[in-house]
Amino acid sequence: MLLTSLDPLAVARGDDMPDAVRIGDTTLSRTDILGAAGALAKRIGGARRVAVLATPTPATIIAIVGSLLAGVTVVPVPPDSGPAEREHILSDSGAQAWLGQAPDDTTLPVVPVRVHARDWHTHPEPNPSSIAFVLYTSGTTGAPKGVLLSRRAIAAGVDAMAEAWDWTSKDVLAHGLPLFHVHGLILGVMGALRVGSRLIHTVKPTPKAYADAARAGGTLFFGVPTVWSRIVEDEESARALGTARLLVSGSAALPVPVFERMRELTGLTPIERYGMSETMLTISTRVDGERRPGWVGLPVRGVETRLRDERGGDVPHDGESIGGLQVRGPMLFDGYLNRPDATEEAWTDDGWFKTGDVAAIDEGGFHRIVGRESTDLIKSGGFRIGAGEIETVLLGYPGVKEAAVVGLPDTDLGQRIVAFVVGDGFDEATLIEHVASQLSVHKRPREVRIVESLPRNAMGKVQKKLLAADSTPPAS
C-alpha cells in the first residue's frame, strides 16, 4: 500500500515484500526491516537525536527506520568525515548516542543495531511537524550547518517527485549514492520505502554495479554527473541500462555531451532535476514532458520560483537573463539548527528561500541553473556572466573531459574568467577561441589551465573554492 504518513513501512502484515531492499550482498524483506526497526525503536524511545554513521549497510537502513518509528531525529554522519568535522556535527546536533557502527575514538554511548532482532510493538505516529533529520551542509562557506527537515516536508517532497516521474510500487530503484545527503538518503531510501518500490543499493556507483542492477530488474536509476560520465565511457554497461524506465541525474549540471551519449547508448533521455539540502527537490523535468539538455525543467507540485537581480527586482523570463533563484513550497526546511542568524538571512521578508544559486527561466517556465552566486556568477568588465554556460561550451569541444570556470580577482576587469580543463588534444588558445566563437566575446576565458583532475566532494560536485584558493591574482 502507498503510505499516507512518513512511517516508512506501515504495511499490512500479509503484504510482505521479500526483496524490499538489497544493499550490497544482503537482501531484506519488509518484515525484516520493520521487525528489526521495531526492536531498535523500543530501545531508543524517548531520545531526542541520535547519530548514524551513514555507511551503505543494512544496519544503516534499520537505524534510520527505527529512529523514524520511534520519533527520534536522525543525524547522518558522513563515514569519511574527519575528526574535526565529525566533532562539530556531534556537538552542534546534540546527538545523544551512536546507532550501530561508531568511530573508534567516540565518547558517546553506542546502541547496537541488531539486524535479526524482531519486535512488533506499535509506535504512535509522531507529529508531522517534528524533525525527522538534521542534514549537515558541505560547509563550503564555513562550518557545516544543520538543516532541519520535518516529516511533513519529506513526505511532500517524495510525493511531488513520485508524481513528476510516475514513480510507483512497480518500480525498482537502483543507485549507489551516499546515504547522508538528500539525493541518496531522503529520495534514494526514504523515497523507495514511502512509494513502496524495491530498492537496490549498489554500495558503490560503478558502471558494472549499475549494469548488474539493470539485469536484476532495476527500472529507475539515480546518479550524479560523475557517475553518468563513467558509465557512458563503459559502453557495455551503458547499453545494459537500456532496459530501465528512467535515468535521473542531479546534484550538479549534467554535461550536454554526457546527456547525448546516455541517450545514444541507452535509448533513454535522461531526467534532470534541481534541489538542495534546504529545499529537497523542487524543480525537475517530467516523465511526460520535455527533457532538454542543460535544463532542469519545471517546478514540481506545490513549488513556486522566481528570479531576483542584485537590487531585488524581477528578472525577465527570456531564457537568457540570469538572477538569484528563490523558491517556496511545502518541502522546504524548518531552518538551520542553532543558527537563527543564518536562518533569517536565508529568507526574504515575504517568505521566499534564497537558494544562493543563479538561474535563467524561459518563457515556458523551464529552468536552467547557472551555478552558485558565490562561485559561478562572474562579474567581469561590467558584465554578469554565468560560469555554467562557459563550461557547457568547453565540454562540447573534442577531448575535453571535465571543465570548471571561476572568476579570479583582476585589477582591470574586476574578475577575469579562468577555465580549469581536464583532457587532451587541444591547447589554451584553441579553447579560448572556441568559446568566443560560440558565445559573446566577453564570455571567453582570459586564461585556460589544463589540469589532471578537478577537486570534488562526495557527491561529485567540483569544489571551486579550492580552485580559486590555489590560484593567485596576476601581477598588476
Q: Band the pLDDT of 17: cuts 50, 70, 90.
A: confident
Query: Which pLDDT tens digit goes with each residue over 372-424?
Result: 777 777 878 767 777 877 888 898 888 898 888 888 888 778 888 999 999 98
Per-residue pLDDT for 80 more than 90? Answer: no
What confidence score (pLDDT) does residue 208 get?
97
Take residue 376 and report the three cell numbers written for it.
559561478
Identify the band that residue 28 occupies on the pLDDT scale cut at 50, 70 and 90.
Answer: very high
What residues are paired with 220 via a beta bridge?
Answer: 173, 246
d(CA 205, CA 296): 22
pLDDT at 280 over 80: yes
Strand pairing of 304-308 and 246-249?
Answer: unpaired
Q: Which of 43-52, 252-261, 318-327 is least confident?
A: 252-261
Its sign, for the CA torsion 450, 453, 457, 460, is positive
Interacting residues of 125 by C-beta distance below 8 A, sequence separation 6+: 5, 7
Give mean pLDDT, residues 173-181: 95
- Buried b vs exposed e over 301-323: b needs ≥16 C-beta within 10 Å? eebebbbbeeeeeebebeeeebb
To which residue does cell 513526505 refer?
Answer: 155
Determine the Cα–Cα distance for residues 416 and 236; give it in Å rounded to an integer.
Answer: 42
Mapped onto helix, strand or coil, the DSSP state of residue 47 is coil
pLDDT: is 166 or 455 the higher one? 166
Of the candidates 254, 230, 248, 245, the one whose C-alpha atom is nearest the C-alpha of residue 182 is 248
**Comparing C-alpha atoms, which of 368, 397, 401, 373 is closest to residue 385?**
373
Region 353-374: mean pLDDT is 91
C-beta separation of 373 from 324 below 8 A: yes
Q: Which pLDDT score, from 0 to 100, does residue 441 have?
A: 82
Task: Report the pLDDT value the prediction gives residue 14, as an integer from 0 to 100.
Answer: 41
Strands (E) across 322-441 are located at 323-328, 353-361, 367-372, 377-380, 383-386, 400-410, 414-423
Residue 288 vs residue 475, higher pLDDT: 288
Average pLDDT value for residue range 305-310: 93
The whole-number pLDDT of residue 476 equals 37
Quick one: cell of 221?
A: 536509476
pLDDT category, 8, cuts 50, 70, 90?
Answer: low
- The pLDDT, as a whole number, for residue 122 is 84
- Average of per-residue pLDDT across 261-282: 96
Q: By CB neighbour count within 10 A (0-12 exposed, 13-18 middle, 19+ buried), where does 135 fall?
A: buried
> What pLDDT score does 275 carry?
94
DSSP state of 323: E
Q: Do residues 225 and 454 lie in contact, with contact meaning Cβ atoms separated by under 8 Å?
A: no
Instruction: State yes or no: pLDDT of 54 exceeds 80.
Output: yes
Q: Which domains does the chain have, with CATH numbers?
A: 1-150 (3.40.50.12780), 271-372 (2.30.38.10), 377-469 (3.30.300.30)
Q: Cα angle vertex 16, ends 13, 20, to 5°?
A: 140
Q: How wide is the angle at C-alpha 175 spanned by C-alphas 174 and 180, nearest 5°?
A: 135
pTM, rounded to two decimals: 0.83
Q: What one-character-per-residue DSSP string does 102-146 give?
A: --TT--S-EE---TT-------PPPPTTSEEEEEEP--TTSSPPE
- Distance (Å) of CA 402 to CA 6, 173, 369, 460: 40, 28, 18, 12
